[in-house]
Structure 1
Amino acid sequence: MSSANAGKPRLKTSAMIASIASEGQRTVSAPFGHALVELASRRADIVGMTADLGKYTDLHIFAQAFPERFFQMGMAEQLLMGAAGGMAKEGFVPFATTYAVFASRRAYDFIHQVIAEENLNVKIACALPGLTTGYGPSHTATEDIAIFRGVPNLTIVDPCDALDIQQAVPAIAAHQGPVYMRLLRGRVPLVLDEYDYTFELGKAKLLRDGRDVLVISSGILTMRALEVADALQADSIDVAVLHCPTIKPLDQETIIREASRGGRLVVVAENHSAIGGLGEAVAGTLLRAGVAPSFRQIALPDAFLDAGALPTLHDRYGISADAIAESLKSWL
């Protein structure tokens, strides 16, 4: 370090765990960790497990509160999932945390064979879903939903904000069977409390109605869709937002009902590859039901994405609020 910088705090890169919150946006610190602690205070069968990523999945909050129920498995994601399956067989409800890339790509076979095939009560909560890190293809989980959608018995949840996570934790614990939940960690935005929202496993929720566009979204793209809906009012464009926090099983009834209302462009928005995620799930649902609205998709490209700062990457790949607004206006 140069003498000019001596004594100054060293700046750390924000690429790995950069906040997805906009400047001035309300946030909640570590909603997953605190929700799990609250749940575990009422249920002695809840245990926390991680593969050397307790701090980076907010499971360290649980570890501090319940050290006797916390299991650090080291950098061994396959072992983590195998051990979680063993815990479930002994009557515990393990919450196993790691990064989404490591669960979907490195530990897939163990999740498939050890957990899902036996329908074990394991809850897999994984940080850095989609494009929520700037570290590039090694850490960017753009295909995790596509990988897991084909696994029988496995429920898939993609929460939008802190409230979604707080309410999803006890809901997925109450569900009998394995769950994969995409996890937002650190200081997580809080938006859904303004929409009289309650998380229900397997249910989509219409957060706001609109006559011109129906955006069907999950995860952080629901937050962006709500921002876009507010912004486009100035252009007299009326946007409805249907939030689908559960990707599997999909709330087909609600999706078909809303997409059947005539005269609206239907747009599916997701923080995931355009291949194999919510967009294709919705498209297949509508096609099989004989519903054929004008349809567009906002998603990440079928490519290995660049590394860099998240705002730049979100603009580049079309999932920032500004980019989504421009796409909607160009399609109308």
Structure 2
Amino acid sequence: MSEVKKIATRDSYGNTLVELGKEHENLVVLDADLAGATKTAIFKKAFPERHIDCGIAEGNMAGIAAGLATCGKVPFMSSFAMFAAGRAFEQVRNSIGYPHLNVKIGATHAGISVGEDGATHQCNEDIALMRMIPGMVVINPCDDVEAKAAVRAAYEYEGPVYLRFGRLAVPVINDEATYKFELGKGVVLKEGKDVTIIATGLCVNEAVEAAKLLAADGIDAEVINIHTIKPLDEDLVIASAQKTGKVVTVEEHSVIGGLGSAVCDALSEKAPTKVMKIGVYDRFGESGPGADLIKKYELDAESIYKKVKGFLS
């Protein structure tokens, strides 16, 4: 059996920017002295005249991106999630969100899987921060295929978009030949009747593997990939919850304000359902290998399997 291909979604981001750059002359890329890490250096090599290194000044980068958007350009401003969503929050909110400008935010190195860079760089709060900005679209792709499609969808969408990418290489679970990305639409990866597992980003593959472990115990789990957290596919979430009666959300993000909160917001209003949120529980990360941290913070398939079993019992 061949080994599953693993690709970091930050690589997908850099490669797709180059493809889009060939197709659209109005696309420009900004970075904050991290082009090698965010992979925008790939774009810089292909289109040096359309790549702007703003230095370690993320707030200023957001302002430059806003200005470019008012001139008909489609800027992709790039940095680590901690800096793009955290350090530059005020400028993103006031200079991009408030006037609803056509700026795309490519935030790499999100979540605890950043690994050895430690708690200061492991942003588990970015989805919550970006969800709160009126009109901001929030996308968290699960693999290379979905990430590339998401970047294209972000370019085509008129308005601000936050794209969340990871440092850690993750399994490619989608087939590029058949995959179709629809903004704001979730994807049912496996139908089931006993419990709904709703996952996003890196945790989607882990949820799929957890469902296999549950199946071996006679538990039929429905698995849904929510790549677009805002706007949320409420119809799909509600329909699945009504079918199974119990919902588990899984995310490499704080359980406060992220996917789990978005799902609970929808269900509490329209289809009250018992929900268990799996994610980072009101704590900071720590330094260590990304894959090891995923296990320690119980976001791996085995941990998800055990938590779901406990929830159902």
TM-score, with normalisation over the residues of structure 1? Answer: 0.88
Selected match of 2:297 from 287, 302, 317 = 317
Give 3-state SS (helix, strand or coil) of 2:37's partner. coil
Once the two structures are overlaid, the 10-residue window that deviates more, 226-235 or 265-274, is 226-235
Q: Tell me the residue number matched to 2:6.
A: 27
Q: Tell me the residue number matched to 2:258.
A: 277
In the comparison of the two structures, how many residue pairs are matched? 308
Q: Tell me the residue number matched to 1:116.
A: 97
How is 1:54-73 mapped onto 2 (pairs within 5 angstroms)?
A: 54-73=35-54
Tell me which amino acid in the other structure corresponds to 1:25.
Answer: V
**Distance of aligned partners of 1:194 and 1:80 in 2 relative to their CA distance in 1, 3 Å threshold:** closer
How is 1:137-148 mapped onto 2 (pairs within 5 angstroms)?
A: 137-148=119-130
Q: Tell me the residue number matched to 1:75.
A: 56
> Gaps spanning 5+ residues in structure 2: where?
none
Selected match of 2:174 from 177, 184, 192 = 192
CA deviation digits over 1:230-272, x for unaligned, max 9?
Answer: 23322222221111111111111111111111x4421011111
Q: Tell me the residue number matched to 1:180.
A: 162
Selected match of 1:203 from 185, 194, 211 = 185
Give 3-state SS (helix, strand or coil) of 1:326's partner. helix
2:200 pairs with 1:221: no
**CA contact under 8 A between 1:82 and 1:114: conserved in structure 2?**
yes
Give 3-state SS (helix, strand or coil) of 1:121's partner. coil
Q: CA deviation at 1:58?
A: 1.1
**CA contact under 8 A between 2:113 and 2:168: conserved in structure 1?**
no
2:279 pairs with 1:299: yes
**Distance of aligned partners of 1:66 and 1:75 in 2 relative to their CA distance in 1, 3 Å threshold:** same
> Gaps spanning 5+ residues in structure 1: where?
1-22
Q: CA deviation at 1:187?
A: 4.4
**Distance of aligned partners of 1:247 and 1:88 in 2 relative to their CA distance in 1, 3 Å threshold:** same
2:109 pairs with 1:128: yes
Give 3-state SS (helix, strand or coil) of 1:193's partner. coil
Q: CA deviation at 1:24?
A: 4.1
Q: CA deviation at 1:311?
A: 2.8
**CA contact under 8 A between 1:32 and 1:185: conserved in structure 2?**
no
Give 3-state SS (helix, strand or coil) of 2:309's partner. helix
* Distance in 2, Cα, partners of 1:288 & 1:219: 25
* Distance in 2, Cα, partners of 1:98 & 1:313: 22
* Distance in 2, Cα, partners of 1:111 & 1:73: 15
**CA contact under 8 A between 2:114 and 2:166: conserved in structure 1?**
no
Larger Cα-atom Rg:
1
* Distance in 1, Cα, partners of 2:178 & 2:199: 17
2:70 pairs with 1:86: no
Higher helix share: 2
* Distance in 2, Cα, partners of 1:224 & 1:194: 20
Q: CA deviation at 1:188?
A: 4.6
Tell me which amino acid in the other structure corresponds to 1:270.
Answer: E
**CA contact under 8 A between 1:197 and 1:207: conserved in structure 2?**
no
Give 3-state SS (helix, strand or coil) of 1:91's partner. coil
Identity of paired residues, percent? 38
Runs of 4+ with deviation above 3 angstroms: 185-188, 194-197
**CA contact under 8 A between 1:132 and 1:140: conserved in structure 2?**
yes
* Distance in 2, Cα, partners of 1:230 & 1:196: 23
Q: Tell me the residue number matched to 2:307.
A: 327
**CA contact under 8 A between 1:50 and 1:98: conserved in structure 2?**
yes
TM-score, with normalisation over the residues of structure 2? Answer: 0.94
Q: CA deviation at 1:331?
A: 1.8
Give 3-state SS (helix, strand or coil) of 1:314's partner. helix
Q: Tell me the residue number matched to 1:253.
A: 235
